[in-house]
Structure 1
């Protein structure tokens, strides 16, 4: 379980690609290295990965084909940066919203509107997931817990505060870049339930 409160950014220092499989190593911030063990989970750009090796601040992960196809991790290069968060422990404060680290899809940055005091991103995502993105609802963007702004069909806005821009990679993104999306499971459950009820009523009336 994760909270969507990014604890730092880590640089990818090595990548080993094989057929339908990737291993990579990141250099963690010193503040995140305490008591790290093989088998523990760390979210990389929102994707829950299991540690396979630890050497001081160098931490390695294996990434399977399913994850490579669903997330942006298959497009990363040596030198790229990822948002990182260690798994939450019992009793930790949930400052964002509860997140699983299971990515639903990728969204594309459609527009960036930056003024002196505001930073707004407009993103577009696949139609099959648009129904789960609601105004003032929660969404995970590269592991960051954010509140959804205006929604218009397959597009939605995010308003980012300076703290988020400083602590994460989101402020480095450009138009056309893709980000990992985790849908709020409670929102998904409600939407799917309502759809089933409506479909059931329509079937009964036919």
Structure 2
């Protein structure tokens, strides 16, 4: 479980290409290392990954082909900055919304609009998961909990607004048109929508 509050923005120190998977090595700060053990779950750009090795402050993760297919980890290179969040501990404050780290898809950036103390990013979505997205609802992009500012179902687009603090703490400040972000829909919203669809389908059967 994650909270959608990015704890660190870190460069990938090394990427290894192996048969059927990629291995990522990152150098963690002392704070991020606190209590970290092999097998622990850590979110990288919103993708829940398992710690496979710890050597000093260097922490390693592996992503299999299916994970790479549906996330932007397939494009990560040495030096790429990724959003990092340790899995939440019991009793921790949930500053964003509850995330599982299960990315459903990537969404490309369509436009980047800058105004004073604000940046608006507009993305292209897919109908199969946009049905779980609503204006002013929660959505996780690259592991960060965000509020949907605008949604156009006909055009299959949605937008978010970012304040300077969010840009400082995340890799959103680096995004430009065409870049892909990982998307995780709100699980509670998904459960409600799926339940309503099922009930209506049974009633009409």
Coarse TM-score class (shorter-chain normalised): over 0.9
What is the TM-score with the length of structure 1 in the denominator? Answer: 0.95
- Per-residue CA deviation, residues 152-185 of structure 1 (Å, 9 max, x unaligned), is 0111110111111000111111110000001101
RMSD between superposed Cα atoms in Å? 1.1
Pick aligned residue for 2:192 from 190, 196, 200: 190
2:174 corresponding residue in structure 1 = 172
2:83 corresponding residue in structure 1 = 83
Q: Quote the offset at 1:6 in angstroms.
A: 0.4
- Per-residue CA deviation, residues 18-76 of structure 1 (Å, 9 max, x unaligned), is 23211110122333122221111110000011101112221101111111111111111
- Describe the SS at the equivalent of 1:123: strand
- Describe the SS at the equivalent of 2:167: helix
What is the TM-score with the length of structure 2 in the denominator? Answer: 0.95
Distance 1:176 1:162 in 2: 22
2:164 corresponding residue in structure 1 = 162
Distance 1:183 1:121 in 2: 17
- Describe the SS at the equivalent of 1:48: strand
- Structure 2 residue 7 is the aligned partner of structure 1 residue 7: yes
- Structure 2 residue 106 is the aligned partner of structure 1 residue 106: yes
Query: Larger deviation: 41-50 or 13-22?
Result: 13-22
- Per-residue CA deviation, residues 83-129 of structure 1 (Å, 9 max, x unaligned), is 00001101111111110011111111111110122211101112211
- Per-residue CA deviation, residues 113-152 of structure 1 (Å, 9 max, x unaligned), is 1012221110111221111110111111000001111100
- Describe the SS at the equivalent of 1:31: helix
Q: Quote the offset at 1:14 in angstroms.
A: 1.1
Structure 1 residue runs without a partner (length 5+)? none
- Describe the SS at the equivalent of 1:201: helix
Q: Show structure 1 runs of 4+ deviating over 4 A.
A: none
- How many residue pairs get matched? 203
Distance 1:73 1:186 in 2: 26
Q: Quote the offset at 1:193 in angstroms.
A: 1.4
